[in-house]
Chains A and B, each alone.
Chain A
Amino acid sequence: MSNAIAKTSSSISQFVQQVPESRSELDIISGELHSLDEVVELVKDNASLFPPHLANKTPAVLETCLAILNELEGCISVLDRSSASRVDKESRWLASRNHIAKLRWTLEGYKYTLWLAVDLVALWVATFPALRQLQVNEKYPLDVNNC
């Protein structure tokens, strides 16, 4: 996931250099990706603390989030094809803005959900500190490294 985020951020940076008009919106997406990277790191670091039913569902959520990221990166790469002139890239950007905005909207929803999950787990652990010892996730491992 971190690799995908880094790759997408890099694609965005390259495209913004080509089409400065896209800076305002793509900078927002870059910020979202940065925040998403943070929350994914938190999920990874605290994977062992997730309750079992959440630990079971979270990998699927991360997979879908990764799919959205790949879609976004794909869109940017298509817009930033080396064969296209700067004017073409700009016109493609204008045509694709809505679609990319939709991708960003969905990505934001996933990011907020993951933040809420992290908050919830933190509160749950604070409420039941002894449950950390049970390590229920030994039965339901949460593997985020393959996402």
Chain B
Amino acid sequence: MAKVVGEIQALTESLEEEARQNGAVAHLQQYLHALHIHGITTAHVEVNQPPNRRRAPSSLTCSDAPDSAIELSDDQTSPFGTTGAHKQPRVIVPAAVGTSLDEVDELLDELGEMPGEAPVPPPRSSARRAPSVNLNPSHDRRPSTSGSYSVSISSGNKSMTHHSPQSSWHRISHMRSWSRTRSETQESICEGYSTPGTDISTSSDPQPDSVERKRPDSETIGQPFDFARLSGWENPRSQVPVPDMTRPSTSSSSMTSQSAVPGTVRRSSSRLSTALKGLRIGRRSSSRARDEREPGRMEPQSQPESEPRSEPAYLEAPRAVFGVPLTESMQVAKGIGQDGYGSTESRKANNTRGYPLSVLRCVYFIQERGIQTPHIFGQDADHILLAKLKEIFSSVDTGYGKILDWDHFTVHEAANLILQFLSELPTPLVPPTAAKRWVSLSRQATISGSMAMRLDQGIDFWEEAFLGIHGPSRALLRLLLNLWGVIADMAEFNDMTAERLAGRVMRPLMHLPAARFDTDLMLGLAFVIRRRSEYQVKAKGGGRRSNAAF
């Protein structure tokens, strides 16, 4: 109720200036005032009510409607072919004072990975059981609200004037220009966003040539090799380490690796860590039951003696990287990259995330060589080369992409491989609820004051944009949005505006049917890409404004 009242108040204030000149808006403001009074009265009575009488379940038809003016309801005409409503649980975590948003973001990832149901509490001991108390008050005790309404009704009748439709509309002389309000709104929002994103352009200097020469003998692609001879990570990014096999591939594992003592309780509560441990144990047992060895992993040089290999890695059957769930693909081939714009080296070291190796390598390649390439992500690649590239990333012989000579491929193959990976995921990386939320966020941005109001309520833009997307999916989405944001920033060189990018990537991203082109979804995605570009440029500093900004 407080949220709704806040929204009403904010909308009233935003319309105040326009109401002086626009009769229709003035009329609307009067209605909002009545809503505001009603909301305050209801909230006041609700607070004074006994606890068991609050929020009784309602069979109101509008309870099936969106919870607020923001969400759109799912219906059967969804382009994704889903039937029935699918509502994601809403998790709003207000940022605590003094807590960095990097930590909040990681906490959100952890919350997303927690078990869906709370653990069953232990039964109460008989000594602690309190006698049952009848908490049902009589109807007489419930306050009557009719008296308060009568006052507003009488005042409302007196103040309400019926404007004839035509005359009220002719009184509209001028309104604020859209571009000015939009730019003001966007600038005010930009300052409030500090959710960490994926920093592709890390401080490490790329040394493609020197790293490439350190490769083992094979100069051509696809030759078998011996894992034991590999000296290091073949990647232009020197800070792409090999993931540790002993730890599970979850985002929370990045924090665990930083603690010296295994099983150290992190900053979260002991109950949270216990739940996560239980989750990890469950995952370990299920993965071990599936296969005892995981040949496709990027194994470190020093393997523990307690886990001897039964046979060489390149003789084992390759496991699927494409067309499987994201976590499963990352169990086969995983790369680790930085996530966040940490100012200190320690923060950068702590903000690492796991990504599918194929996507990570392609992103780095495009970042270094393809940002200004005309029509990057905008044109199809050579299908033969694309198939070869996919084969490299799917083959155990090449270490699932660890051995790769980019000289044989162009950035278009890398871009199309990313899209192919997204297309072949069993579930879309961006679920329909998130896509629709982006549409509503883009529309709300055009209403002045609404975004500022939402900031006042502590709702971070990126928190809402990524609602319903957790764990590796969220990290991967951030990685891709950062890449597309950089590309959109260079649109004057590559002709790929945010809208063009969105039009090309939205189908693989959201698993839209080929015959359908939803303009709303495209514009929603373009809006998010532009916001990401703005955020990146601002986070990097330098006083420059993103070329992709509104």
Contact of A113 among B35, B146, B157 (CB under 8 A): B35
Are A118 and B62 in contact, CB atoms less than 8 angstroms apart? yes
Kindly specify which of B91-99, B163-171, B409-417, B463-471 makes contact with the partner chain: B163-171
B245: which A residues are within 8 A, CB to CB? none
Complex Cα–Cα for A66 and B55 (A):
34
Decide if B46 touches A127 in the complex (CB within 8 Å).
yes
Among the interface residues B54, B67, B69, B169, which one has the most CB atoms of the partner chain A within 10 A?
A: B69
Interface size range on A against B: 35 or more
- Cα-based distance from A109 to B166 in the complex (angstroms): 19
Chain A residues 52 to 111 lying within 8 A of chain B, measured CB to CB, are 52-54, 56-58, 60-61, 63-64, 66-68, 70-71, 98, 101-102, 105-106, 108-110
Give bound CA distance, A27 to B442, whole Å.
13
Which of B30, B49, B165, B177 is the most central at the interface, judged by chain A CB atoms within 10 Å of its CB?
A: B165
User: Which partner residue on chain A sits nearest B49 by CB separation?
Assistant: A127
Contact of A38 with B by CB under 8 A: yes
Q: A28-B520, A106-B25, A120-B39 are in contact. Are A126 and B60 (CB under 8 A)?
A: yes
Given contacts A27-B520, A53-B156, A60-B160, contact A122 B62 (CB under 8 A): yes
A106 near B22 with CB under 8 A, answer: yes
Q: With contacts A57-B160, A70-B165, A112-B69 known, is A122 near B7, CB below 8 A? A: no
Asked if B67 contacts A53 (CB within 8 A), the reply is no
Q: A57-B34, A127-B45, A128-B145 are in contact. Are A119 and B4 (CB under 8 A)?
A: yes
Chain A residues with CB under 8 A of B439: 31
Q: Evaluate contact between B178 and A101: CB separation under 8 angstroms.
A: yes
A-chain residues with CB within 8 Å of residue B135 when the two chains form the complex = none
> A51 touching B28 by the CB < 8 A rule?
no
Of the candidates B24, B447, B499, the one whose C-beta lies within 8 Å of that of A68 is B24
Q: Which of A35, A46, A67, A101 contacts B166 (CB 8 A)?
A: A67
Q: Are B25 and A109 in contact (CB under 8 A)?
A: yes
Q: Which residues 110-141 of A sit at the B interface, judged by CB distance below 8 A?
A: 110, 112-113, 115-131, 134, 136, 140
Give the complex CA separation of A40 and B68 in angstroms: 15
The answer for the CA separation of A144 and B55 in the assembled complex, in Å, is: 28
Q: Chain A nearest CB: distance from B203 CB in Å?
A: 39
Q: Given the complex, which residues of B lie within 8 Å of A31, measured CB to CB?
A: 439, 443, 520
Contact A56 B156 (CB under 8 A): yes
- A131–B139 CB distance below 8 A: no
B231 at interface, CB cutoff 8 A: no
Q: Do the beta carbons of B28 and A108 come within 8 Å of each other?
A: no
Output the least CB separation between B215 and chain A (Å). 48
Please tell me if the beta carbons of A68 and B169 are within 8 angstroms of each other in the complex. Answer: yes
CA distance A69 to B259 in the complex (A): 62
Q: Point out the residues of chain B lying under 8 angstroms from A46, CB to CB.
A: 60-62
CB neighbours (8 Å) of A109 from chain B are 11, 15, 25, 28, 447
Cross-chain pairs A/B with CB under 8 angstroms, 8 sampled: A27-B519, A28-B443, A57-B160, A60-B160, A61-B27, A67-B24, A119-B65, A126-B58
Can you name 9 extra interface pairs (CB under 8 A) apart from A109-B447, A113-B32?
Answer: A60-B162, A98-B178, A105-B447, A112-B11, A116-B7, A116-B35, A120-B39, A122-B58, A123-B4
List residues of chain B with CB under 8 Å of any chain A CB.
1, 4, 7-8, 11, 15, 22, 24-25, 27-28, 30-32, 34-35, 38-39, 42, 45-46, 49, 54-58, 60-63, 65-69, 72-73, 139, 142, 145-146, 149, 152-153, 156-157, 160, 162-163, 165-166, 168-169, 172, 175, 177-178, 439, 443, 446-447, 450, 499, 519-520, 523
